[in-house]
Amino acid sequence: MNDQFDGMTIVRKAVEALRAAGADKAQAGFSRGSQNEMNIDAGKLSLYRSTVNVSLSLKALVDGRKGVSSLNKYDDDSIRQAAAEAVDMARSSEPDPANDISPGRPLECFDNGITKADSDTMYTRLQDFLAYSKEQYPITQLEQCILDFGRGESFFANSNGAEFEDRGGLYNFSAMFTSKDGGNASSFNYSGAVQKNLDKALQDWGSIDLLMSQSAEQTLASSIDGSFEGDLLIAPDCLGDFVGMLDGVYTSDYPLITGTSPWVDALGKPVVSPLLTIRSQPNSDQLAVQQPYTGDGFRTEDCLLIEQGILRNFTLGLYGANKSGKPRCPSGGGNIVIDGGSSGWQDLVSDVKRGLLLVRFSGGRPSDNGDFSGVAKNSYLIENGKIVRPVGETMIAGNLAQLFSNIKAVSKERINYGSAILPWLLAGPVDISGK
């Protein structure tokens, strides 16, 4: 493959074509990705997959009306046709002054990671992982594991003169597993992480080995009796889901445009516990994944979302910011890093009178008012400061804002997933119920 694919020429052509077709403002993004992937299914190597794809997106604004056309071709005729289509679509739409493109800035180029998959080492790492899991966790079955190398090149231009070029190559590994012991079976669990190279054994990526080490004992899970109010010690894999739900309900485009977020006027004010600091760090060297520019054409800047409980930024994009009248998120909202606390996560267990170590959460979409409920999966009952046993058929229910306002501690240990860094977090109470 050509490692220096000239995508800038394509996006510049697309912007010119949009302008020629009648767009007042124009924006184009082009990406080209190749992927090499090896799969384990049911404990055996199964598939070696090589894919290539491209994507070109053209956005036209005509008198504040927007049209977007996307395709996976980039020859001149296809670009001209897509540009004409986007402009026609914009003319069919309705004006909205919030539609806009980012201001001009000179071309910036970024390069992160390697250019070519090392297939032999990928194979060796997977075989080593298979052997390790068989030896260490003999009753744990690998349902599906995927090791892939993705090389991505993306290019952006708009008619204000903003231009970006970003190339990267990263390895991604995910493992899904379950345990069976006679007639007893555990819930499946899974995790994954991103790395720039294959230097580390796969079980040492993210939280994979920790979660695999818990799987066998979870074959003995059973429900709790009745219901009670208790605390949650939320494990890092699960905390990522909760932070995502928090964003979806309180700080992202939809709740702020519609005004349903109770935090709509809370910038600079305390909204959750002072023990919580959430950063968005798309340029952090601590993370394998980097996101140098946003999809709407801004250079990203690392920023605080919540600082010691105080809301510092929403995660609004350009349209959401224009529409809601609130500031755009300088980071784009990705690459979440949560500050660690001072206690070891296992020490936090001793602070819990009665509650759960919540390792995975299988829940419904939270309501607009922040209410959530779901099943505690791969989780453990904590009583009088000790982990007592794994639980199954156990449900939790609460409210997101209340949960994050009632944080009792954050662990000093954190897991680096390559795209996020997350600790354990102790909060509560929530409603916990069994059968």
Partner 1 sequence: MKYADIRRHGALFSEYTELRVQEYRSITAGTLNGDVIANNRSASGGMSARVYKDGLWGFASTPESSDAAIRAAILQATENARFLGSKAGRKTAPLPCRPGIGERSLATSKPRLDQKAYIDFVRTIDAYLATQYPFMKSRMVQASTADYEKTLLSSDGAESYSLIPRSLVYASLTMEHEGEPFDLYEIFGGAGQFEDLFDRPETLYPKLDVLAERLQQKAKGVYAKPGEHEVILDSDLAGILAHEAIGHTVEADLVLGGSVAADYMGKTVASPLVTLVDFANTALGRLCPVPLWIDDEGTDARDAILIQDGVLKSYMHNKESAAHFGVEPTGNARAYGFYDEPLIRMRNTAILPGNSKLADMIASVDNGYYFLQSSNGQADSTSEFMFGVVMGYEIKNGKLGAAVRDCTISGVAFSMLQTISMISDDMSWTGAGMCGKKQSIPVGMGGPAIKCRINVGGRA
Interaction residues for partner 1, span 400-419 (CB under 8 A): none
Count of residues in the chain: 435
8 Å CB contact between 399 and 370: yes
8 Å CB contact between 395 and 374: yes
**Residue 128 found at the interface with partner 1 (CB under 8 A):** no
**Residue 90 found at the interface with partner 1 (CB under 8 A):** yes
**Residue 183 found at the interface with partner 1 (CB under 8 A):** yes
Selected from 27, 102, 141, 252, the binder of partner 1 by CB under 8 A is: 141
Interaction residues for partner 1, span 232-291 (CB under 8 A): 254, 257-260
**Residue 210 found at the interface with partner 1 (CB under 8 A):** no
Could you please report the per-residue DSSP string of 131-196?
A: HHHHHH-TTEEEEEEEEEEEEEEEEEEETT-EEEEEEEEEEEEEEEEEEEETTEEPPPEEEEEEES
Among 49-57, 102-110, 306-314, 417-425, which window interacts with partner 1 (CB under 8 A)? 49-57
**Residue 92 found at the interface with partner 1 (CB under 8 A):** yes
**Residue 47 found at the interface with partner 1 (CB under 8 A):** yes
Interaction residues for partner 1, span 362-381 (CB under 8 A): 362-369, 371, 373-375, 377
**Residue 67 found at the interface with partner 1 (CB under 8 A):** yes
Among 220-228, 269-277, 302-310, 332-340, which window interacts with partner 1 (CB under 8 A)? 220-228
Selected from 19, 22, 93, 160, the binder of partner 1 by CB under 8 A is: 93
Helix (H, G, I), strand (E, B) or coil at 55: strand
Q: How far is the CB of 433 from partner 1 (least distance, A)?
A: 4
Interface map 292-331 toward partner 1 (x if CB under 8 A): ---------------------------x---x--------
Q: What angle do CA 301, 305, 306 make, to 5 degrees?
A: 145
Selected from 46, 213, 286, 350, the binder of partner 1 by CB under 8 A is: 46
**Residue 222 found at the interface with partner 1 (CB under 8 A):** no
For partner 1 (CB under 8 A), the number of binding residues is 84
User: In Å, how far from its chain's centre is CA 207?
Assistant: 15
Q: How far is the CB of 184 from partner 1 (least distance, A)?
A: 9
Distances (CA, A) of 152 to 104, 271, 382, 421: 24, 38, 44, 23
Q: State both tokens at 353.
A: 């009178």
8 Å CB contact between 287 and 335: yes
Q: 67, 72, 45: which is closest to 56 by C-alpha?
A: 72
Q: How many CB atoms lie within 10 A of CB 41?
A: 13
